[in-house]
Amino acid sequence: MGIIEKMRLDGKAIYVTGGASGIGKAASYGFAEAGADVAIVDINLEGARKVAEEIAQATGSKTIAIQADVTNPEEVEAMVAKVVETYGKLDACYNNAGIAVNAPAEEMTFEQWKKVIDINLTGVYLCSTAAGRQMLKQGYGSIINTASMSGHIVNVPQPQCAYNASKAGVIMLTKSLAIEWAKRGVRVNCISPGYIGTELIMQAENLKPLIEVWNGMAPMGRLGKPEELQSVLVYLAGDSSTFTTGSDIVVDGAFTCF
């Protein structure tokens, strides 16, 4: 099989959490355009349905929409079961749902701290292990998690200690699972995006001054686009990355290089 053929995802079943919006939506499009059937998972069912319909129409992917809160173990188990019931297997998954809370550490409430850690880190743990149990049974599978450049550096000026800690946790969780499952056919990787100008971010009036600051700090003078993450995600999900596990691929336009 040639390299381009190996990079395609024809016949593969993949779920994406946080698929109703932003990076998850672009990732879902990318997987579907590469040939995969994609389950769009989100706490926002209406949003997930809309994206699933759009993608099915645009690409012919056999999409489904699933409502699940990634912090709820029962809902996560049911989500994986639904994907397997629909497609007969789970080839890859992209555990991407996440939130950010900007607040000075001394003012952040315990509830704010817990919510960020619950969704960004515990959610990735619950999804990775639920998907992992299915993949270990199958003897193959590729798990991809969303970390962030904030798992590597404290990006300023916005204070977000819970977010940074959660993303550093995702990187080490990814590496730990990769080691545990390396001999059993299940690969686990994460990506660490830099600032990505999703629709939500670009349209938020209150973020405009911050975007100017980020553009000024960015070596390329701009934010990334969600579509600019697609190729690395398709690579990690497919059969051209069979020796890539435990990797954290930074896609940040060199933001963390200095």
Residue of 66, 196, 249, 250 interacting with ligand NAD (CB under 6 A) = 196
Q: Is 248 in the site for ligand NAD (CB under 6 A)?
A: no
Residue 156: other Cβ atoms inside 10 A: 10
Q: Which stretch binds ligand NAD (CB under 6 A): 31-39, 90-98, 176-184, 235-243?
A: 90-98
193 binds ligand NAD (CB under 6 A): yes
Which residues from 12-71 bind ligand NAD, rule CB under 6 A? 17-18, 20-24, 42-44, 47, 69-71
Binding region for ligand NAD (CB under 6 A) out of 4-12, 105-113, 134-142, 197-205: 197-205
Q: Is 253 in the site for ligand NAD (CB under 6 A)?
A: no
| Among 102-110, 128-136, 171-179, 191-199, the segment contacting ligand NAD (CB under 6 A) | 191-199
Q: Closer to ligand NAD at the Cβ: 125 or 195?
A: 195
Reduce the DSSP state of residue 66 to 3 states and report it: strand
- Closest separation in Å from C-beta 155 to ligand NAD: 9
Residue 27: CA count within 13 A, CB half-sphere: 33
Q: How many chain residues are in contact with ligand NAD, going by CB under 6 A?
A: 29
Give 71 or 240: the residue with its C-beta nearer to ligand NAD: 71
Active site residues: 148, 163, 167
Structure tokens at 118: 């619950």
Q: If binding is defined by CB under 6 A, does position 130 make contact with ligand NAD?
A: no
Core vs surface per residue 27-48: b (16+ CB within 10 A) or e: bbbbbbbbbbbbbbbbbeeebb
Question: Measured between alpha carbons, how far is 240 from 180 in angstroms, rounded to an integer?
Answer: 21
Range 72-81, long-range pairs (CB < 8 A, 24+ positions): 72/126, 73/126, 73/130, 76/123, 76/126, 76/127, 76/130, 77/130, 79/15, 79/39, 79/41, 79/127, 79/130, 80/15, 80/130, 80/131, 80/133, 80/134
Instruction: Closer to ligand NAD by CB, 56 or 251: give it.
Output: 251
The pair of three-digit structure tokens given for residue 234, joined into one six-digit string: 């398709």
In the Cβ-directed half-sphere of 168, how many Cα atoms lie within 13 Å?
11
Query: What is the contact surface with ligand NAD in residues (CB under 6 A)?
Result: 17-18, 20-24, 42-44, 47, 69-71, 96-100, 119, 123, 146, 148, 193, 195-196, 198, 200-201
